[in-house]
Amino acid sequence: MKTLFVALDFKTEQETFAFLDKFEGQSIGVKVGMSQFYMSGPKIIEEMCRRGHEVFLDLKCHDIPNTVYLACLQLSQLPVKLLTVHTLGGKEMMQAAVKGVEEGPYQPQILGITQLTSTNQTQLNQDLGISGDLQSSVIHLAQLAEESGLAGVVSSVQEVSQIKAATSERFLSLTPGIRMQTNATNDQKRVATPEQARLAGADFIVVGRPITQSSDPVAAYQEFIHQWKGSNN
């Protein structure tokens, strides 16, 4: 619990392993996203587990229920801890995802993507054509995810306390868009520090570029862990 997952958004396998080599002997949480998985396939997951890392496979599945069921059945053959599906795929699709992992050997927990942290209010209303405010949409999608049997959701830190209030105690919360006050926000619109994530009650955080693009990734990782774990560190 309280894992920090480093988002491995690299362009090549070489870059990925050059980064992971710096953490040799350390067990860290890593987030493998679409680019890594499309580039290297399942073998990259096996290698990361062999190195002792805990894997969050963030493929954000979103398709018709039967296709998502089959995808999740395949993905649960891999030794991963967490998987993601889009809550905007609806209840039936999320239930199909749960059925898929339940039939596999590893049974990773599934988290639902609510609204991406790169989405802001204007984009929600104008580009996606979804009326209402962003927070209400996130809360609604979190409740739908819980009703569908998902283990938790992904959201920005700003929504965590409201999600926790609107769902049961064991419903998990993972938050990307994490930055130190001195970091660039990049393309993220709703950012928060690791301490703010902890105080809001997040169960997991994802940190990408502030660690992967740092001149000293190991030191940057330690700094984020320190703030994330607080006095328990």
Binding residues for ligand C5P restricted to 194-213, rule: CB under 6 A: 206-209
Among 17, 61, 50, which Cα is nearest to 36's?
17
Taking CB under 6 A as the criterion, the residue among 188, 198, 203, 227 binding ligand C5P is 188
Query: Among this protein's residues, is 63 annotated catalytic?
Result: yes
Taking CB under 6 A as the criterion, the residue among 3, 4, 9, 45 binding ligand C5P is 9
138-158-232 Cα angle (round to 5):
120
Among 222, 91, 200, 209, which Cα is nearest to 155's?
200
Q: What is the rounded distance in angstroms from the CA atom of residue 26 to the CA atom of residue 54?
A: 11
Report, in Å, the least distance between residue 72 CB and ligand C5P.
18
Q: Please state whether 129 falls in left (phi above 0), alpha (psi between -120 and 50) or beta.
A: left
How many residues contact ligand C5P, by CB under 6 A? 15
CA dihedral 13, 61, 111, 108 (to 10 degrees): -70
Residue showing tokens 């988290």: 111
Nearer to ligand C5P, 2 or 60 (CB): 60
161 — phi, psi (to 5°)?
A: -65, -35
Q: What is the rounded distance in angstroms from the CA atom of residue 222 to the CA atom of residue 27?
A: 13
Binding residues for ligand C5P restricted to 13-52, rule: CB under 6 A: 33
Taking CB under 6 A as the criterion, the residue among 96, 113, 157, 197 binding ligand C5P is 113
Nearer to ligand C5P, 96 or 134 (CB): 134
Query: Among this protein's residues, is 60 annotated catalytic?
Result: yes
6 burial level (CB within 10 Å; 0-12, 13-18, 19+): buried
Nearer to ligand C5P, 76 or 114 (CB): 114
Asked if 114 contacts 62 with a C-beta cutoff of 8 angstroms, the reply is no
Candidates 2, 60, 81, 99; catalytic one: 60
Binding residues for ligand C5P restricted to 147-186, rule: CB under 6 A: 154, 176-177, 186
Annotated binding-site members for substrate: 9, 31, 58-67, 117, 179, 188, 208-209
Nearer to ligand C5P, 215 or 231 (CB): 215
Query: Among this protein's residues, is 187 annotated catalytic?
Result: no
Q: Which residues are catalytic?
A: 58, 60, 63
**Residues at the contact surface with ligand C5P, assessed by CB under 6 A:** 7, 9, 33, 113, 116-117, 154, 176-177, 186, 188, 206-209
